[in-house]
Homo-oligomer: A and B are copies of this chain.
Amino acid sequence: MSKGNLSTDAYKGVRDFYPEDMAVQRYIFDMWAKTAESFGYERYDASILEPSDLYKSKGAVNEEMVNEQTYTFIDRGEREVTLRPEMTPTVARMVAGKRRELRFPLRWYSIPNLFRYERPQRGRLREHWQLNCDIFGADDYTADVEIIALAHQVLLDFGATPDMFEIRINHRRDMQALYESIGIKEAEIQNKITRLNDRFHKIPVEEYQTLLTAILADAELVQKVFTLVTSKENVSENEIIKGLSELGITNAHIDRTLARGFDYYTGTIFEIFDISGENNRSMLGGGRYDNLTSMFSDEPVTGIGFGMGDVTMRDFLETHKLLPTTISTTAPKIVIVPTDTKLNLEAQKIAHYIRTRDISACVDISTKKIGKKIADAAERGVVYTIVVGTDELQSGTFILKNLIHMSEESDTLENLLTLLIKNTL
């Protein structure tokens, strides 16, 4: 075996989850699942490997993403495979595949990992996880209201308050109609404006106007588009905004600059923005895609959904100090500390017995000194230790040490456990 020359670094742009980070990850995933399930969403999953064709249909995802940012390769059987860059095509495939057996409307959620070949930067990694929530087979506008309310509730359940973020809403077909109403009828020009709008909040107004002039070459038209895009509409007339406010959600507004990157959206599109000065970026995005399953079938099923990433989620929670300080790794309740390694097996028997009482336990089987073993347990967040020496084994009397209160109790093992169960229940 070669000695010591191999790097211990993870692959570029992905993360190792040591127990401390894993505990945060699980906290986020568990909360996502809890909120989605409170809305009656059922969990599904699929493999990260997908036939590349899934992303190649016109209108499926986004050409730039497919051509430049996917992990795509040929397998040993000459099949072209892609590591899924996002979940919506997969869930559309699954729904289309069983559309005759499934009962609609369908409410589904998943927490998949997704892959994009990008330059790693803050909030953007090559692998990230996402909460994906979708409703299939419901055209009613209250589906749009519900999916946005769910996204909103996810943030509230983490302890966020509505002043920390805002919901920006737009509509793909409404935008088409608006462009046409001012005489811009060519789809190609409309798309160019949409792509420029996507950068509206990131560039100075002057630059936006210059770039818009480059597209339209007509000062009057540029002014019309600018007015259209920046106008504050009478939002109380928008049924989704109205619906949300009926549910007590008042931090939503129409933003005509909102574009969303994916080609498959057909109706409502929305994003949630972190409006703290520090973060100030999109945390979550989604929309309605009524034709996506038509790739598979002439009987398409309508859909609306969103995706929310774990990296941005964690940044948001850290920025707003919403991560509980009590998140900890899964340290056992009791660590048994043998006074000598010769007693390790006796200590293992005691740990085994403790576990039969539904209390987590393990033995420090190292060669460290007793004091060091107890100190290590305390550092890991373990609550109790029991020292096991020949005296304890002969007398049958053990000392249960509480590492937090620095208190001790001396009794038989059985009595100590009974006491412990009563205290902690």
B18 and A44: CB pair below 8 A? yes
Knowing A18-B94, A57-B1 are in contact, say whether A344-B40 is a contact too (CB < 8 A).
no
B243 and A4 contact, CB distance less than 8 A: no
Q: Does A365 contact B (CB under 8 A)?
A: yes
Q: Which of A163-171, A205-213, A225-233, A291-299 contacts B (4 or more CB under 8 A)?
A: A291-299
CB distance from A417 to the nearest CB of B (A): 14
In the assembly, what is the distance between CA of A220 and CA of B27, in Å? Answer: 63
Q: Kindly provide the distance from the CB of A141 to the nearest chain B CB, expressed in whole angstroms.
A: 8
A419 within 8 A of B: no
Bound Cα distance from A331 to B71, whole angstroms: 35
Residues of chain B lying within 8 A (CB to CB) of residue A351? 39
- Contact call B149/A330, Cβ cutoff below 8 A: no
- Taking a contact as CB atoms under 8 Å apart, the answer to whether A16 and B94 are in contact is yes
A366 engages B138 (CB within 8 Å): yes
Q: Which of B60, B81, B142, B365 contacts A11 (CB 8 A)?
A: B81
Number of chain copies forming the complex? 2
A97 to B6, CA, bound (A): 10
Bitwise interface map of A from 336 to 378 toward B, beta carbon under 8 Å scored 1, else 0? 0000010011011101100100101111111000000000100
CB–CB B42/A329 < 8 A: yes
Q: CB-CB < 8 A to A68: which residues of B?
A: 76
A337 to chain B, nearest CB (A): 13
Separation of A280 and B329 alpha carbons in the complex (Å): 37
Contact of A365 among B5, B105, B126 (CB under 8 A): B105
Interface residues of A in 232-273 (CB under 8 A from B): 243, 246-248
Q: Flag whether A192 is at the interface (Cβ < 8 A).
A: no
Q: Is A411 an interface residue, CB under 8 A from the partner? A: no
Decide: A6 near B296, CB < 8 A? Known: A18-B98, A246-B349. Answer: yes
Q: Is A41 an interface residue (CB 8 A)?
A: yes
Contact check, B366 vs A137: say whether CB atoms are below 8 A apart: yes
In the assembly, what is the distance between CA of A79 and CA of B9, in Å?
Answer: 14
Identify which of A48-56, A181-189, A319-327, A400-408 touches chain B. A48-56
Check if A219 is an interface residue, CB within 8 A of chain B: no
Q: How far is the CA of A54 from the CA of B5 in the complex (A)?
A: 11
B10, A143: Cβ atoms under 8 Å?
Answer: no
CB < 8 Å neighbour of A243 from B11, B108, B348:
B348
A14: CB under 8 A from chain B? yes
CA distance A336 to B93 in the complex (A): 29
Evaluate contact between B45 and A94: CB separation under 8 angstroms.
Answer: no
Q: Are B330 and A117 in contact (CB under 8 A)?
A: no
Given known contacts A1-B295, A48-B48, A103-B380, what 13 new A-B pairs fall within 8 Å (CB)? Answer: A1-B58, A1-B291, A2-B58, A4-B297, A10-B46, A18-B44, A19-B42, A19-B44, A39-B355, A75-B117, A138-B366, A142-B347, A243-B348
Complex A-B: 10 CB contacts under 8 Å: A4-B295, A4-B296, A5-B295, A6-B295, A12-B79, A17-B44, A38-B360, A40-B360, A41-B362, A47-B113
Top 10 A-B residue pairs of the complex, sorted by shortest distance between their CB atoms: A40-B332, A40-B362, A8-B97, A14-B47, A73-B73, A17-B45, A19-B42, A142-B344, A1-B59, A11-B49
